[in-house]
Homo-oligomer: A and B are copies of this chain.
Amino acid sequence: MSDDPSPHPFDAAIALQAGGDGLFRGCTHAAYGNMVGPYGGTTAAQMLNAVLRHPQRLGLPLALTVNYAGPVAEGQFDIQARPARTNRNTQHWLLEMRQGDEICTTASAVFGTRRPTWGATEVRMPQVPPACALPRSPGFVAWMNQYDRRAIEGASPDLKLEQEQSGSRSSLWVRDEPPRPLDYAALVALADVFFPRIFLRRGRWTPAGSVSITTYLHADEAELGAQSSRHVLAIADAQRYAGGWFDQSAQVWGDAGVLLASSHQLVYFKG
């Protein structure tokens, strides 16, 4: 997509220049900026894209773990992607993102083949109003404006009210803005589309950030194709807050009721 004269901003943001031997150079994109540094979802998609573009890659993404080891500065970065092990049905990858001499992000990815098997989904997609019936939520930082977000419950709290809540659940319809057909890179970015659950619980802003995120890609290519560029339903909650850390879990549903991805992360918070 990097040769397209006017690529979608997301494609521009995850574009990589192959340097050979699994080395890829990319650059942060202002449109996906967060309060400090880039949106973590874009960083995850960049890591995944390095594997997707690697000449030795076999199969498609099944799992991705991204560790936000240190701040990513605006500007260039290098990703080293290495196939740690290639089996008949799975391939395991290790990745490092560097700026200068420092590792800022690490990742591991499992790629593999999907085969026709028995299947079932044990969790239920909640009954919610359609995206078109809901207003678009405002964005507070650059990357949020790259998504059309329609809050259903647990919208970003009014931080001036400092109103504590009993739960951490948010659900929203969301798609890339402008619309873009869903693919695995967009899906791993979407899995991180939520503000930290601590904001909602405590009703106020506090320093917080993802430290490690793991996303399981359930959707096959046909399901991604069927979803295309329509809104997906994204749901997040938390299990335990303690000692400056909490875990946040998410589901990403297609609008036809297919669980496209499940995701989990460890988040740092202060105070």
Chain A residues proximal to chain B, CB less than 8 Å: 62-63, 65, 67, 69-70, 84-85, 87, 89-90, 92, 94, 96, 102-104, 106-108, 110, 112-123, 167-168, 201-202, 211-212, 214, 216, 218, 220, 237-245, 247, 249, 251, 259, 262, 264, 266, 268-271
Contact = CB atoms under 8 A, between A and B. Distances in A.
Contacts of A122: 167-168, 237-240
Given A85-B70, A106-B94, A240 B262 contact: yes
23 contacts: A63-B212, A65-B108, A65-B212, A84-B103, A85-B103, A89-B268, A106-B108, A108-B212, A110-B211, A112-B268, A115-B243, A117-B243, A121-B240, A121-B242, A122-B167, A122-B168, A122-B238, A214-B214, A214-B264, A216-B247, A218-B239, A218-B245, A262-B264
Contacts of A114: 242-245
B92 A67 contact: yes
- Of A104, A110, A114, A115, chain B has the most CB atoms within 10 Å of the CB of A110
Given A92-B106, A220-B243, 11 more contacts: A63-B211, A67-B92, A69-B87, A110-B212, A114-B242, A115-B244, A120-B201, A121-B241, A123-B239, A216-B266, A218-B239
Given A122-B168, A218-B240, A84 B69 contact: yes
Interface of A is mostly: strand
A93 B125 CA distance: 36
Contacts of A117: 241-244, 269-271
A265 to B, nearest CB: 9
A90 B119 CA distance: 39
A218 B242 contact: yes
A70 to B, nearest CB: 5
Given A69-B92, A104-B85, A117-B269, A123 B240 contact: yes
A70 B85 CA distance: 7
Give 6 closest A-B pairs by Cβ, nearest first. Answer: A114-B243, A69-B85, A69-B92, A119-B242, A214-B214, A65-B65
A78 to B, nearest CB: 14
A238 B120 CA distance: 10
A247 B218 contact: yes
B104 A243 contact: no
